[in-house]
Every structure is written in structure tokens, then in C-alpha cells.
Amino acid sequence: MPKSNPVFQPLAPLAQAAGLEINRFAELQTFVQVAQLGSFSAAARARDVSPSAVSKIVARLEARLGVQLLRRSTRRLELTAEGEQLLESGKQLLTDWMALESSITQQGQPTGVVRINASSTTGQRLLVPLVSRLMETWPGLQLDLSFTDQVVDLIAARADIALRWGQLPSSDVVARRLGRTRQVIVASPAYLARRGTPQHPDDLAQHVRIGWNYPRAVPHWPFVVDGQKRAVSMGDILRVNDGEAMCALALAGAGLARLSLYHAWDDLHAGRLKGVLEDFNCGDLEPIHAVYVGKPGQLPTRTRAVLDFLQQHVDLSHAEIWPAALQGR
């Protein structure tokens, strides 16, 4: 008889001694392995239990079914007709069960749909550039991307992962921090030529602030003045609910905007935007997290693969420090 069967390799050993309640599936596992290995002692060694425990498990199975499955002699075991029938059907049942487990837990290469939610700006500027590489790394994945500046409920939106900026409130979600970015105040050269460049936070009363229209939006901008952190009010306020719209308005000369450095990076380097009041910047670093619902150890392989990829490839180190190349611009 064959020595082993791969069906049993991933299964945990039976640690229950005879006399403890054994489920029917465990009984079937034990019987099939005894039949394939040809003895109770061989099956016991494979399962790291005593031969008497294996013998009692098989005896319990026979008693419950009301038939003899094995003929025992001093030299060998022989299957009865009922034992042969149970062995063939049992092997197929165990194989089907392992296939079902594998399809649910997605062992090996991650496959299936992963739904990711992000703000419009984050989705387009941070996530989209990584999508091609992610799909090449895990070709079995399908991505469903939703970009909105409204904070969605992950369960209601059926999202597996959401990318969120800022400090997270207490909730049922679990978070992985992907990076941080400095906040900068910017304006177009045309706006500064028309309205003047503010030299002190008090000058902002004469300028247009482009802000957020969310209920949770902060109504002031923070600065450090004379060594003290201070919230400074603005003059006229233009409100939007979309990061790309805020950047576009700043580029169009509509006013001053407080953006993340990663968001404004390309436009600052190209000279389309200029940083202002950097001497008073309080240096706040805003974190970005990948959040999800569920226990870290019980995530589907597909979700865990995307989280690991994002944590490895999202690089915001350049956006934490005001670059020397922009000094004086």
C-alpha cells in the first residue's frame, strides 16, 4: 500500500485522545489514512498520536456506521467491502474538501477582485501610477477602483481597502500607514503678481483662501509665529470638495491653496505653483493609511497581497521635507 497521501499533509494532527468527542470528518481522515498506510501504528506515527487512540477512533466509526470496515490480523489489515466503498468515496470527499478550502482561502497565487476606494487626487496621483506594476506582480488579481472625495463606509460600499489621509478616528477599521507628506501653501505666479506675495501670516486677510466644503474641514490654517503655533483666519474663501479641483483652481490663479507636498510636487518643480510662507510652516506631516475591515490574520490572500504591495511601493519620503531646489522660488 502507498505510504502517504498529499490530502493529509496540510491537515493538523489529531491531538484528541480516544474518549474525547471526535467529529465525523476527523474520523474519516483517520480511517482513510489507516487504510492507505496499512496499519494503526503507521497512521499513529503520521498523526503523532498513540496507536490505541487511532484504533479507538476507527472502532467508534464502525460502531456509528454499524458495519465492520477492517479485518484485523496479527500481520495485516484488510478492508471489507464496506471499507473499500468508504475508502474510495472518502478519498474523493477529502480531496473535494481541500479544493474547497483552497478556493476560499486562495492559497498560493492571489486571485479574484479587490475593490479599492480613494479620494480623486489620491487615486489619480498615487494609486494609478502603481496599478500596472501591481497587475504584473499579481496577474490573477482584478482591481475595481472607485475614486470619490466622500468618506465611504467600507462595508456599505463593498470596498476591501480604502486609502485615507489624516488622523483616523476610532472605528472598526484596521489601518496600515503607507507614508506621510508635508503640507504647503501654494499659489500660481499669476495670482502672486496680481495680489502680491504674503510675507507674514497676518497678510492672509487680504488673500483668497481655497478651502474644503466638508463639514469636518478645518476653518483656519496653522502656522508657527514667534515660536508659537497659531491658527490664522483668511479673507474670502473659495470652497471645493475635490483635491484635483483645488489644485486646478490654484493653477488658474483663483487663490491660495494648502496642499500636500506630494500633490503639488510636479507643479512646484515646473514653476507652475510657488510655495509661500515657508518660514512659518509648522511642519505638520499628514499620514496616509490603507484601511480595511477584518482581522489581519484572516484576510483573503488577494487583499493581503494588495496591502503588502502598497506598503512596499508607496514612497512619500520625498514629500516630507521642503526640497532645497525650491528655495527662493
The per-residue DSSP string of 13-72 comes to P--PPBTB---HHHHHHHHHHHHHHSSHHHHHHHHTS-HHHHHHHHHHHHHHHTS--EEE
290/174 Cα distance (integer angstroms): 8
Residue 188: how many CA atoms within 13 Å on its side-chain side? Answer: 16
15/48 Cα distance (integer angstroms): 8
Tallying the residues shown for the chain, one arrives at: 329
Mean of the per-residue pLDDT values for the chain? 82
Judged against a pLDDT cut of 60, whether residue 21 lies above it is answered with: no
Give yes or no for a contact between 160 and 114, defined as CB atoms under 8 angstroms apart.
yes
pLDDT of residue 5: 47
The pLDDT confidence band at residue 257, using thresholds 50, 70 and 90, is: very high
The backbone torsions φ and ψ at residue 144, rounded to the nearest 5 degrees and listed phi first, read -120, 105
C-alpha cell of residue 62: 464502525
147/119 Cα distance (integer angstroms): 5
**CA-closest candidate to residue 267, choices 285, 291, 251, 245:** 251
The backbone torsions φ and ψ at residue 174, rounded to the nearest 5 degrees and listed phi first, read -105, 145
Judged by DSSP in three states, 196 sits in coil
Distances in Å between the Cα of 70 and the Cα atoms of 60, 61, 88, 114 are 12, 11, 14, 49
Judged by DSSP in three states, 111 sits in coil
pLDDT in tens, 103-147: 665 556 788 899 999 988 888 888 999 999 999 999 989 999 988
11/184 Cα distance (integer angstroms): 55
pLDDT of residue 272: 95
pTM of the predicted protein model: 0.62
The helix (H) or strand (E) run that includes residue 210 is strand 209-212
Judged by DSSP in three states, 265 sits in helix
pLDDT of residue 216: 59
Structural domains of the chain, with CATH: 6-105 (1.10.10.10), 112-180+286-318 (3.40.190.10), 181-285+322-326 (3.40.190.10)
Beta bridge partners of 287: 180
Judged against a pLDDT cut of 60, whether residue 9 lies above it is answered with: no
Judged against a pLDDT cut of 80, whether residue 244 lies above it is answered with: yes
The pLDDT confidence band at residue 270, using thresholds 50, 70 and 90, is: very high
